[in-house]
Homo-oligomer: A and B are copies of this chain.
């Protein structure tokens, strides 16, 4: 078991930590029966900062949920580091579709802090899902939402310029916290990378927005001064 990342075994050892997995946060509301069945299948493990969790193109045999910590999915290039396509904060799925689909990881995944993972081997999970219809439905819904998010990002990348993408991203962040003050939880270079621009361009766009009075930036704190104008700039 855990054949995916044998090299990590030595480093991170300790399988099946006695940890509570917050399935509702990952899959939506679940019967306690279903949750227990998942618990029985899941193995948790901890991974140190900087360690590789998955490698693009290698076999993906387990679904992986990030329970705690921060990890980044993206593209590792020799001596350019890893450019972030998605930054994940627990609890959230880290690897959901690859084992269910083509069976190969789409991205390189690296821990950005010490993280706690829960892993579900896909074959037993399939067998379980075949017996528990509501569980399959929850996975269907979760996957469908993921498609929606990707569609949106693809759309923005194709049709919006850097300023609009940043504005849209800020608006999206705003929804979550329902406040006007944002604390950026990621390095700016990772934000830039997710938005498909360079750190330099992000920096200039931030400055442009603050010069126009839409936001006020101070380090990793962003205060949104004019949410409506920001929404307008984002192009709905």
Contacts and interface: CB of A to CB of B under 8 A. Distances in A.
B151 A106 contact: yes
A151 B148 contact: no
Contact of A130 (B134, B147, B150, B196): B134
A154 B155 contact: no
A101 interface: yes
Contacts of A148: 97-98, 101-102, 106
A85 interface: yes
Contact of A136 (B75, B133, B150, B154): B133
Interface string A141-153: 1011111101111
A212 to B, nearest CB: 25
Interface in A117-148: 126, 129-134, 136-137, 139-141, 143-148
A73 B234 CA distance: 21
Taking the full assembly, how many copies of this chain does it contain? Answer: 2
B154 A101 contact: no
A157 B152 CA distance: 13
A14 interface: no
User: Could you tell me the dominant secondary structure of chain A's interface residues?
Assistant: helix
A4 interface: no
Contacts of A144: 96-98, 100-101, 143
Given A133-B131, A159-B75, A159-B83, A100 B140 contact: yes
Interface centre among A143, A152, A154, A193 (most CB of B within 10 A): A143
**Closest 9 A/B residue pairs (Cβ):** A136-B136, A101-B144, A100-B144, A97-B147, A143-B143, A150-B150, A97-B144, A106-B151, A101-B145
23 contacts: A83-B159, A85-B154, A85-B155, A85-B158, A97-B143, A97-B145, A100-B141, A100-B144, A101-B148, A102-B148, A106-B148, A129-B133, A129-B137, A130-B133, A130-B134, A130-B137, A136-B136, A136-B139, A139-B140, A143-B144, A146-B147, A147-B147, A147-B150
